[in-house]
Homo-oligomer: A and B are copies of this chain.
Amino acid sequence: MAAAAAAPVWSVDPRTGKRREQVAVEATAATVDAAVRAAHAAGDALADRGVRAAFLRRAADLLDGAADRITAAADAETALGPGRLTGELARTTYQLRAFADVVEEGAFLDVLIDHADPALTPPRPDLRRCKIPLGVVAVYAASNFPLAFSVPGGDTASALAAGCPVVVKAHPGHPATSELSAALLRRAAAELGLPEGVVGLVHGFDAGIELVRHPLVAAAGFTGSVRGGRALYDAAAARPHPIPFHGELGSLNPVVVTEAAATERAEQIGTGLAGSMTLGTGQFCVKPGLVLAPHGPAGDRLARSLADAVRTTEAGVLLDHRMRDAFVDGVRERAALPDVEAPVAPGADGEHTVSAGFLTVPAARLAEPGGPHDLLLEECFGPVTVLARYADDTEAGAVLARLPGNLTATLQLGAAESAGEDAPPGPAGNGTGRGARLLAALTPLAGRVLVNGWPTGVAVAPAQHHGGPYPATTSTATSVGGTAIERWLRPVVYQDTPPALLPPELREDNPLALPRRIDGRREG
């Protein structure tokens, strides 16, 4: 055949900008189709929950066993550093095992049983509901987490836990790490007797579009930019049969520092903020990108402390040169806005590194709709934050009212505000002070609300919620935590189905000992 040569996929060292090796070729439409069909054919093999749990645990073991190779590969093409990557791998394998626990417990099946009631008008039939896997899940890997939000990450782990095979679209920033991770997942599958097609991997921008349009793809998970995520969301919605698209796109992660907090803890807050916004060279989706701090001496102390800490932060290497260019251009454009100052100027520092910094702006500027300062309400990926100085609660509130949706929102309160002691409690024992008021104001803005902490560091835990109003995420779901599995399931109810035909999950005698609700009440 005289087909055009397939485009090569290179692993690139961001510390030098040099190509390291050719890892793969970009997937053609035919390759994507083959991967999706192989995944679809592997679906039945995931029907057994015990097999799924064992698969997830074996995958975690194999990844842990290859830790040195994985972190070396990931560091070479992301420059995130061995320390961070070792931690990220531990997080990733912990997450795989946590989903194995979720699968085994079975609460996610959400079993509801209503017994027939002939006395009702009209008579009620016997209804037995549980959740079933949607089918092949497309996973779009993130640039900034080559493991935890990529091939072996939360989307893959939760989809496999749900019983859905996956096809991952690798991020171009770490193709070698992606291939290595996928090979380990496939080896785990093979060891469990599962078809290797249960985890597919494709490279290339066009392949990503093909994937979300493929008729056998039933849902998608995405972590990345607003632009890329929105394009894929639109493609998912425009299909003849639209599919759920769970995308995490962008987040400003506002922080509100009260006057009392600044008065009591200016230096602690300034240093903490510097640590959070520069962590991982500012490449976290939960980086605090906008900080409302009071005018006046306490706020000035905070700004000085932030400046001192940021100034001494080492220059870092961003994930790739495209991001570096976007960061340098983004901070330059923001710094050039009227009334914006840069006490510590972020930007290019040498050929491959960037230095951290921050901008200041009067909060009043952000309260004006439609002006050029709206740019400061958009995420800027990299080690920069914006300190918006406000005059009073009204001005701070006006800025909050203009914010887009976020993954997180953070409050820094004074001690009395934290304890609710700055105002008498309301009639229902509810707080009426500034802390309660601000918490209520921040809740509509985000999926996670923190008090007196920093948003970086997203704990993998059953109650975690990593999502928020658009553009933080394109759905109300989470991509981290036990409930992330809900994204890949749909309910089905069996009506008046003879006991001999019922799946074991729904049998009256509950042979799998699943948690259930019977006739509207939790059993046991």
Contact B449 A492 (CB under 8 A): yes
CB neighbours (8 Å) of A471 from chain B are: 241
Query: Binary interface profile of A, 223-253, with partner B (CB < 8 Å = 1, else 0)?
Result: 0000000000110011001101000000000
Contact B490 A447 (CB under 8 A): yes
Query: Binary interface profile of A, 477-489, with partner B (CB < 8 Å = 1, else 0)?
Result: 0100011000001
CB distance from A113 to the nearest CB of B (A): 6
A500 to B437, alpha carbons, bound, how many Å? 12
Question: Across chains A and B, which 6 residue pairs bring their CB atoms closest together, nearest first?
Answer: A420-B500, A112-B463, A237-B237, A476-B490, A465-B493, A462-B520
Contact B405 A476 (CB under 8 A): no
CB neighbours (8 Å) of A446 from chain B are: 492
CB neighbours (8 Å) of A522 from chain B are: 107, 515, 522
Q: Closest residue to A453 on the B side, CB-wise?
A: B496
Query: Binary interface profile of A, 416-452, with partner B (CB < 8 Å = 1, else 0)?
Result: 0011110000001111000110010001001111111
A72: CB under 8 A from chain B?
no
A406 to B214, alpha carbons, bound, how many Å? 20
A1: CB under 8 A from chain B?
no
A67: CB under 8 A from chain B?
no
A127: CB under 8 A from chain B?
yes
CB neighbours (8 Å) of A498 from chain B are: 413, 418-420, 435, 451-452
Total interface residues in chain A, CB < 8 Å? 84
CB neighbours (8 Å) of A114 from chain B are: 459, 461-464
**A22-30, A118-126, A190-198, A386-394: which lies at the interface:** A118-126
A470 to B237, alpha carbons, bound, how many Å? 12
Contact B237 A497 (CB under 8 A): no
CB neighbours (8 Å) of A449 from chain B are: 492-495, 497
A474 to B476, alpha carbons, bound, how many Å? 15
CB distance from A87 to the nearest CB of B (A): 7
A15: CB under 8 A from chain B?
no
A501: CB under 8 A from chain B?
yes
Q: Closest residue to A436 on the B side, CB-wise?
A: B501
Contact B464 A493 (CB under 8 A): yes
Contact B459 A124 (CB under 8 A): yes
CB neighbours (8 Å) of A113 from chain B are: 463
CB neighbours (8 Å) of A87 from chain B are: 122
A287 to B429, alpha carbons, bound, how many Å? 52
